[in-house]
Structure 1
Amino acid sequence: MGGPTQRGVVTYILSPFEQRAFAGVVHNAIFNTSRRVLSNVPYMGTAFALGYLIYSQANARHAYLTSKAGHAAEGGDH
């Protein structure tokens, strides 16, 4: 750079031919993604199971209430 020599400054240079910027990216991404997804399965599975249970019970109750027996049980006229 044309200035005086710096003391105590160390610089390292790596050849572009020695760099492997994306070494193992695909391999690591697959295993890290699967590990993260599998660690969340208990939480997501519980939520989906609870949601499905509520949804199926609500549909069954709706089908009953819109039937002739449901109208008679609720005291409505049909």
Structure 2
Amino acid sequence: MAGGYSGWWGAMKGPKEVGFITYTLSPFQLKTMKGFFTHGPSNMFKRTAHQVPYILPAALVLWGVVSYGNKRSEYLHSKAGHHELE
């Protein structure tokens, strides 16, 4: 730079920026586990129950496809299945 060394990355020694307001919370003030043992199990049950309508149809389709595939595979590897393919 023309003006000389301006400092290492993050400490550029430039003019102060105006208009930026930052807020932080102390890690000692946060209560990350508050209500985990009292409300945790009921919240987990409620959230799981809300996902059942989305997961259950896909699980049933998957079960049906796998069941059909296993039965068809057993049939095709049996004596009757070999005769059918001939």
Q: TM-score, normalised by structure 2?
A: 0.57
Offset at 1:25?
Answer: 3.0
Over 4 Å off, 4+ runs: none
The aligned length equals 56
What are the ranges of 5 or more consecutive residues in structure 1 without an aligned counterpart? 1-20
Distance 1:25 1:64 in 2: 52
Q: 1:53 aligns with which of 64, 71, 81?
A: 64
2:84 corresponds to = 73
Distance 1:51 1:41 in 2: 15
Q: Going by fraction, where is helix more abundant, 1 or 2?
A: 1
Distance 1:61 1:47 in 2: 21
Q: Which has the higher contact order (CA 8 A, sep 6+)?
A: 1
What are the ranges of 5 or more consecutive residues in structure 2 without an aligned counterpart? 1-30
Q: 1:9-24 maps to which residues of 2 (within 5 A)?
A: 21=31, 24=35
Residues 64 and 23 from structure 1, CA distance in 2 versus in 1: closer, same or farther, beyond 3 angstroms?
closer
